[in-house]
A and B are shown apart, each in its own frame.
Chain A
Amino acid sequence: MAERDDALGRSAPVIEPGHTFATVTDKISSIVLTRPTSRGWFLGFGVAFALTMMMLFAISYLVVKGTGIWGINIPIGWGFAIVNFVWWIGIGHAGTLISAILLLLRQSWRNSINRFAEAMTLFAVAAAGIFPLIHTGRPWLAYWMFPYPNTMGYWPQFRSPLIWDVFAVSTYFTISLVFWFIGLVPDLATLRDRSENRFAKIIYGMLALGWRGSARHWHRYETAYLLLGGLATPLVLSVHTVVSFDFAIAIVPGWHTTIFPPYFVAGAIYSGFAMVMMLAIPIRKVYNLEDFITDRHLQNSAKVMLATGWIVAYGYGMEAFMGWYSGSSSDQFLLWNRLHGPYAPWYFALLICNIGIPQLLAFRKMRTSPLGLFLISLVVLVGMWLERFIIVVVSLHRDFLTSSWGMYYPTKWDWMTYIGTIGMFLAAIFLFVRILPMISIFEMRTLLPEAEVKE
């Protein structure tokens, strides 16, 4: 492996030298087992938890009063809810991408970040899943979208992209969950065998399913893991494609474009990696895991962001070009409206966040500076949110009939729900790093030179 790295001119190693099976195991598992819980953790978790409560309050009020508490109206039937849904789903793409696609590509550097990337994916998808549920006028009936004969023996309408969403998102969540859990099993066994605390031993023991590292098990395990990776790869690409169908299938100017699937997927990976960076950088600092999450990881992620950012930029360009080239008055107007309409400042902010600033990643200095990366990732996340806002709101607020144009102003409830989901997401992350190994121990072991066996 080392040679291959040099051949490809990669400088930083994926794991600092001097580690053994024992040290790797100790270092990672100690975070969960022995390390005392810091005050910082309690503080951070407390804040995140409070925000989660705020979200629950906002949702309860929504159920009591109705979606009218939000800023939506006719013609802007979709607002923050869908914007946030798409944003979160997008973020949720990095995890599976890293664990599945990089697995197939044999990118072993992924081993130290895939675990919490996957966890991040689960929590992001969970956050996303809230929105399609609560954005309906009668959330208590949202289950009618599931495939069973609801009122009067009528089934869901399978031509609707929303039904496709239901299948895509729930499949994605399920597969990501099992993928993540299966990856955890051997490490849970490690925790089982190493925890002194009896209670912990029992819990970890149950979760470990009695894993004992038998050669037969490892063999089937690896096959299954590889197949899952092979299945998750088209899945992850399909999910945001399907999400983009919500718009592409509709006839609304600005939605009805064929460029959407690829550029939504690219955007998803873009924001997903940004979120991974935003988590990885502080985590490796706080738990001094620089040995495992090295500059090499930061650099590679930065490169992925740079590349996907370019695809997204191309998407914007194509969108604009098609708008102009279509010759359709309403499409041309959409373009004009983005540039000169009431929401123009947001469109320019979007261009700066997604296309302008991230170009700094072209500089090695920036790719290797954790702080710089952190900030750029933040900018990208904001930019990707703005992109969805532009797509959803600005397309809807001025469509075909000039008589029916409108404006959208989010209310405090919109903001509370959105910020609340961020809180929920962080709270989950805090719990995760505290009770589960955030780096795949057994896969880290395989990266050590001792793991090599000569025939």
Chain B
Amino acid sequence: MMKDEQQIKSQGQDVCPGKKSQLKLEDVRAEIEKTSGPQYWRSLEELAGTPEFQEMLHREFPKGASEWLDSVSRRGFLRLMGASMALAGMTGCTKLPLEPIVPYVRQPEEVVPGRPMFYATAMTLSGYASPLLVESHLGRPTKVEGNPEHPASLGGTDVFAQASLLDLYDPDRSQTVTHLGDIRSWDRFVDGIRGPLTAQKALSGAGIRILTPTISSPTLAAQIKSLLSAYPQAKWHVYEPINRDNVIAGSQMAFGQPVETQYRLEGANVILSLDADFLYGGFPGATRYIRDYANRRNPDANINRLYVVESTPSATGVKAEHRLPLRASEIEGFAHALAGMVGVNAGGATLEGEQQKFLAGVAKDLQGNRGASVVMAGDHQSAAVHALAHAINAALGNVGKTVVYTDTVDANPVNQTESLRELVSDMHGGKVDLLLILSGNPAYDAPVDIGFADALEKTNVGMRVHVGLHNTETAALCHWHINEAHYLEAWGDTRAYDGSVCIVQPLIQPLYAGRSALEVVAFLGGQANANGYELVRGYWQKQHTAGDFDSFWRKSVHDGFVAGTAFAPKNVAMKGGNVPATNVEPGDIEINFRRDPSIYDGRFANNGWLQELPKPLTKLTWDNAALIGPAMADRLKLKTEDMVELDVRGRKVQSPIWIQAGHPDKSITVFLGYGRTRSGRAGSEVGFDMYRARTTTGLWFTNGVQIRKLGDTYKLASTQGYQTMETPTGERPLVQAATLEKYRDEPKFAKEGEPPTALTLYQPYDYKKEAYAWGMAIDMNRCTGCNNCIVACQAENNIAVVGKEQVVKGRHMHWLRVDVYYEGDRANPSAHFQPVPCMQCENAPCEVVCPVGATVHSTEGLNDMVYNRCIGTRYCSNNCPYKVRRFNFLLFQDWETPQYKMMRNPDVSIRSRGVMEKCTYCIQRINEHRIDAERADTLVKDGTLQTACQQSCPAEAIIFGNINDPNSKVSKLKSLDRNYSLLGELNTRPRTTYLAEIRNPNPEAEG
């Protein structure tokens, strides 16, 4: 209740304070919840009619909010919010940082208008860095790309890094220092904290507590340590909702010390994943692992084999040759059994039937590949499973070859759950006077049984300071909130999964004069107005005593990382002895808590790109759902979109159901990060908050779940309603796939059904006479469905976010989508990912039917879309067999919000209402390179010109280039036997072709 008031207060205070009897967002939500499926949005609209609601709107959104009362313009209303919330001082012009920042040398040293500059920097997610190159137009960061020089990226990224750009320009970002919700200046904060600090000096900091997320930054760690030395009694607590406690505990169990486990997949013929989703962003090192995995997917060379045992279907799982769905708690048993079979002295349990067959197959395969195999365990699996994985790898002689142990990237590898629990008990014990929360949002995402939010509210901590990008649930419960600087605005350093240090280089002065965590800590440590640049540089100056520091610094900043800082492999001895089985309380139905594939732990909830990013398997957007298997659904008479109440040992949450093929029976998977109350226009009141049922005992999974059907339904926005190639009148060969054997017998199997290209009535257009003929080849053997290409395309091409209502109607705007098709038994299917950009057909059906010639063919074979000539008949889309065209049914683009104006790619025009749009093969990049080549009087060099999707792809599954050049990579790929055209029988002659998927199953593990 008090929480509610605080929210309303801090949300509305600067508009019209002291309003009585206000309608609360919670009530609104409750109201909407009652209504079912199709009525959902209509009810929202009716609701909008009630006076209280309007009143609330006006409270929340100063300007133009009244214009929202209209069924279609939910987005319009979002835009209005943006416009009214952007600060008055927020203008289109920007400043480069004052300090010397170093551009990437492949670009000219000085800024040339229209010429982007690239700067190396890095983004940190739960302590692990993604090394990046960020494109900057006249001082405005516009596109995030991976740093090709860095081994952890090799040019690839994950979706979170791609989308982090939108966070920088998020108009809902916290823009000022606030005290009890009122705007204050930094100096007022300085005054405010002086007293408490001096008081603590006397107590040698006994009352000071610092709560941080996982920190890998050497400089920040050093700063905190020096702060702690200034206040010896102060304590440093660490908490992340997506923490690696089990990993640490596992290595403690195995080696008696915390170590980081790295994998060398390029050397692995056989990979066994025990619930490790290592081919999707968020898994430490995923970007690199995807590349190594993909490099081993060449069926003509050394194709590897992947086994996955998992508790919920994942992108990794469906790529596996052999996949065994097990409930999370059963995986430990499997690990034990496997350990026994590969000669680890562990209480080797035994399995039955399918499982036993699978186990036998894996065990044999692993032993047949000693030193060339990998067993990995997922972060959410028990410590025992990790310990067993270590033991098995050791037994297989993989250690030092495909598995490497190093120091931890985490600067303070403690058990984070315990650390937070300790902090809370100190708060209750009245031992805490000054609490500093450095980013993170524990009031929202801490385990409920720890009761952090309550402690924050109820206990008398004299001064609570929150530093963060957003004014979050946690900030609302603190006295002071300091608006943090985004990583693209601040100096810092961080570590990649391999331990190498990346220098975080800002590309732009803080938009809202935010401060980095580093600067705040330094300030508390007594360095008044210390600035990040000096802190980082200073730290490294101390480290780098030998040689010329300036050139070292310049090189490090330029490259984006400090050479030679990657951790050296570490020899760790197995403690030996049996790995104790974790005792599981009896209970029927299990529940898994997983980070969301799109919005992670909730920190990206306000990121429209990620909210609208279809999740790899469900293709859900703007929501989370409770995943259950088909068998369980039949048993409980549940259908997708049925609302249920999940009772997790007394803690009740509600959620819609999603029936997920391949999900283990008697098990439910829910995703964290939704149901935020103070996230912003995109993230607030979206989805269902599953943290409310997450406890320290069941951090990742627990059993004893009661599931109750509520009777009503809830509309879910999935971008792919029908997820198989099976139709009642036969299967459609959309994705050509075969086993290695079949491929060897019949290499051209993918080409059947394609008409002879010579078969035509009239002389086809001759593209050979041109210098270039652009084409693309997509290798579905490499694609792991990581979704990067979608976000990269969205960022590169200024693609609009349309909101849930429009996605439900089928009007999402992604130019590139990744279709997923399930195959086989619903209980345990395999699946194929198929990225679908525009096919750029040579005989484009869309062009012939356009009455105004708004889509025509270029001499280089591109299917060009001329926006300003389009009148929007949508005939082209109807006639496009690939349905890659996207139409601006309404004014989807945000033309008001100033931040977005700065974010957009100036080389790509913003589409307005009523025109068709689609993938252009990144024509702006093509033109840039063609012009450069013409200037130099050469041809565009193969590989230098990359489309956004191709550039971002960690698997190098998308290859683009000039098919008139027989030596170009794309020409070579297209000449392979596996190459085929989607719907080739229509004779559209697509320029985008696919390489058929080849799997390498183990006959002995066949289910």
The proximity string for A residues 389-426 relative to B, scoring 1 for CB distances below 8 Å and 0 otherwise, is 00000001001111111110100000000000000000
A154 at the interface (CB under 8 A from B): yes
| Additional pairs, 9, CB under 8 Å, beyond known A67-B914, A403-B836 | A72-B889, A157-B850, A166-B851, A246-B875, A401-B883, A401-B983, A402-B727, A403-B722, A406-B721
Q: List 9 A–B pairs whose Cβ atoms lie within 8 Å, in order of A's numbering.
A: A71-B809, A136-B914, A137-B872, A137-B889, A138-B913, A144-B869, A154-B853, A162-B873, A252-B878
B891 touches A403 (CB 8 A): no
Report the minimal beta-carbon distance from A408 to chain B, rounded to whole angstroms.
9
Interface string of A128-168 (1 = CB under 8 A from B): 00000001111001101100001110111101111100100
- In the complex, what residue of chain B is closest to A251 when comparing beta carbons? B845
A251 touches B810 (CB 8 A): no
Q: Does A228 contact B (CB under 8 A)?
A: no
Q: A65-B72, A145-B852, A399-B883 are contacts. A73–B810 as well, Cβ < 8 Å?
A: yes
Q: Is the CB of A396 within 8 A of B878?
A: yes
Picked from B727, B848, B914, B983, the residue with its CB within 8 Å of the CB of A160 is: B848
**Interface 0/1 of A46-84, CB less than 8 Å to B:** 000000000000000000011111011111111000000
State in angstroms the CA–CA spacing of A150 and B868 once bound together.
Answer: 11
Taking the closest CB of chain B, its distance from the CB of A31, in whole angstroms, is: 43
6 tightest A-B contacts by CB?
Answer: A137-B872, A137-B914, A68-B889, A77-B874, A68-B890, A73-B810
The reply to whether the CB of B885 lies closer than 8 angstroms to some CB of chain A is yes
Question: Nearest CB to that of A143 among chain B residues?
Answer: B871
Measured between alpha carbons, how far is A71 from B811 in the docked complex, in Å?
11
Residue of B nearest to A323 (CB): B729
Are B913's CB and A66's CB within 8 A?
yes
Interface membership of A340, Cβ < 8 A? yes
- CB contacts (< 8 Å) of A154 on chain B: these are 852-853, 869
Q: Are A402 and B722 in contact (CB under 8 A)?
A: yes
Which residues of B lie under 8 Å from residue A135 when comparing CB positions? 873-874
Residues of B511-538 whose CB lies within 8 A of A: none
When chains A and B are docked, how far (Å) is the Cα of A75 from the Cα of B876?
11
B819 touches A401 (CB 8 A): yes
Q: Could you tell me if B819 and A156 are in contact, using CB atoms closer than 8 angstroms?
A: no
- Chain B residues, CB < 8 A from A340: 728
Q: Is A374 an interface residue (CB 8 A)?
A: no
User: Smallest CB-CB separation from A404: which chain B residue?
Assistant: B883
Q: Which of A162, A401, A406, A407 has the most CB of B within 10 A?
A: A401
Per-residue A-contact encoding for B779-819, CB less than 8 Å = 1, 0 else:
00000000000000000000000000010011100000101
A137–B883 CB distance below 8 A = no
Binds B, one of A215-223, A328-336, A358-366: A328-336
A250 contacts the other chain (Cβ, under 8 Å)?
A: yes
Contacts of B916 in A (CB 8 A): 137
Which of B728, B849, B916 neighbours the largest number of chain A CB atoms within 10 Å of its CB?
Answer: B849
Within 8 A of A (CB), among B875-921: 875, 877-879, 881-883, 885-891, 913-916
**What is the chain B residue whose CB lies nearest that of A331?**
B729
Question: Please, how many angstroms separate the alpha-carbon atoms of A157 and B848 in the complex?
Answer: 8
Are A137 and B878 CB-contacts (below 8 A) given A67-B914, A333-B727, A401-B883? no
B725 located at the interface, meaning its Cβ lies under 8 Å from any Cβ of chain A in the complex: yes
CB pair A403–B723 under 8 Å, yes or no, is yes
In the complex, chain A residues whose CB is within 8 Å of the CB of B820 = 403
Which B residues are CB-close (under 8 A) to A283?
Answer: none
- A162 to B38 CA separation, bound complex (whole angstroms): 34
Q: Given A160-B848, A336-B728, does the pair A77, B877 have CB atoms closer than 8 Å? A: yes
Q: Which residues of B contact A166 (CB under 8 A)?
A: 851
**Which residues of chain A are within 8 angstroms of B879 by Cβ–Cβ distance?**
250-252
> Does A249 sit within 8 A of B, measured CB to CB?
yes
Cα(A150)–Cα(B820), bound, Å: 42
A72, A160, A396: the one contacting B851 at CB < 8 Å is: A160
- Chain B contact surface mostly: loop
- When C-beta atoms are compared, the residue in chain B nearest to A334 turns out to be B729
Taking CB as reference atom, which chain B residue is nearest A76? B810
Known A74-B887, A161-B849: A138·B810 in contact at CB below 8 Å = no
Tell whether B460 is near chain A: CB-to-CB under 8 Å: no
**B821 interfacial contact with A, CB 8 Å:** yes
Contact between chains at B722 and A137 (CB < 8 Å): no
Contact B915 A137 (CB under 8 A): yes
What's the least CB distance linking A344 to chain B, in Å?
12
A144 and B852 form a contact (CB under 8 A): yes
Contacts of A401 in B (CB 8 A): 734, 819, 836, 881-883, 983
Bound-state Cα–Cα, A335 to B727, Å: 12
Is B568 engaged at the interface, CB distance under 8 Å to the other chain? no
CB-contact partner of B852 in A156, A399, A400, under 8 A: A156
**Min CB gap A409→B, angstroms:** 8
How far is it, in angstroms, between the C-alpha of A336 and the C-alpha of B915 when the chains are bound? 34
Cβ-defined contact, A402 with B730, below 8 A: no
Asked if residues A137 and B881 are in contact (CB atoms below 8 Å), the reply is no
A405 & B914 in contact (Cβ 8 Å cutoff): no
Q: How far is the CA of A403 from the CA of B882 in the complex (A)?
A: 9
- By size class, the interface of chain B is 35 or more
Give A165's nearest chain B residue, CB to CB.
Answer: B851
Query: Do the beta carbons of B720 and A403 come within 8 Å of each other?
Result: yes
The CA of A402 and the CA of B983, in the complex, are separated in Å by 12
The interface residues of chain B lying within 8 Å CB-to-CB of A66 are: 888-891, 913-914
Q: Does B188 contact A (CB under 8 A)?
A: no
- Which residues of A lie under 8 Å from residue B729 when comparing CB positions? 329, 332-333, 335-336
CA distance A68 to B870 in the complex (A): 16
- Evaluate whether A162 and B875 lie within 8 angstroms (CB atoms) in the complex, with A145-B852, A336-B729, A400-B881 already known: yes
- Determine the residue in chain B with the shortest Cβ distance to A163: B851
Instruction: Considering the complex, give the chain A residue whose CB is closest to the CB of B886.
Output: A74
Q: CB within 8 A of B874: which of A71, A78, A251?
A: A78
Q: Which of A313-335 contact B (CB under 8 A)?
A: 329-330, 332-333, 335
Query: In angstroms, how far is the closest chain A Cβ from the Cβ of B803?
Result: 12
Chain B residue nearest to A150 in the complex (CB)? B852
Q: How far is the CB of B849 from chain A (nearest CB, A)?
A: 5
Among A135, A136, A142, A404, chain B packs the most CB atoms within 10 A around the CB of A404
B851 near A250 with CB under 8 A, answer no
Tell me if B887 and A137 are in contact (CB < 8 A): yes
Say whether, besides A160-B848, A402-B734, A403-B722, A72 and B874 are in contact (CB < 8 Å): yes
Asked if B986 is at the interface (CB within 8 A of a chain A CB), the reply is: yes
Q: Are A65 and B869 in contact (CB under 8 A)?
A: no
Indicate the member of B71, B870, B872 with the most A CB atoms within 10 Å: B872
Which residues from A are CB-within-8-Å of B891?
A: 66
| CB pair B849 A138 closer than 8 Å | no
Residue of A nearest to B732 (CB): A329
Write the chain A residue with the least CB distance to B733. A329
Which residues of chain A are near B883, meaning CB under 8 Å? 74-75, 399-401, 404
- How would residues 360 to 377 of chain B score, 1 for a CB under 8 Å from any chain A CB and 0 otherwise? 000000000000000000
Cα separation A33 to B195 with both chains bound (whole Å): 99
Closest Cβ neighbor of A69 among chain B residues: B72
CB closest chain-A residue, reference B730: A329
Q: Which of B933-989 contact A (CB under 8 A)?
A: 983, 986
Within 8 A of A (CB), among B10-53: 38
Residues facing A in B816-861 (CB within 8 A) are: 817, 819-821, 834, 836, 845, 848-853
Closest to B75 in A: A68
Is B355 an interface residue, CB under 8 A from the partner?
Answer: no
Q: How far is the CB of A109 from chain B (nearest CB, A)?
A: 41
How distant is the Cα of A166 from the Cα of B852 in the complex, in angstroms?
12
The residue of chain A having its C-beta at the shortest distance from the C-beta of B725 within the complex is A402
Task: Return B159 CB to nearest CB of chain A, in Å.
Answer: 20
Check if A137 sits within 8 Å of B886, measured CB to CB: no
Q: How many Å lie between the Cα of A141 and that of B914 in the bound state?
A: 10
Q: Which residues of A contact B819 (CB under 8 A)?
A: 401, 403
**Cβ of B821: which chain A residues have Cβ within 8 Å of it?**
402-403
Which residues of the other chain, B, contact A155 by a CB distance below 8 angstroms?
Answer: 853
In the bound complex, CA of A302 to CA of B35 (Å): 50
Whether B881 lies near A251 (C-beta < 8 A) is yes
CB under 8 Å from chain B, chain A span 336-365 = 336, 340
The residue of chain A having its C-beta at the shortest distance from the C-beta of B811 within the complex is: A73
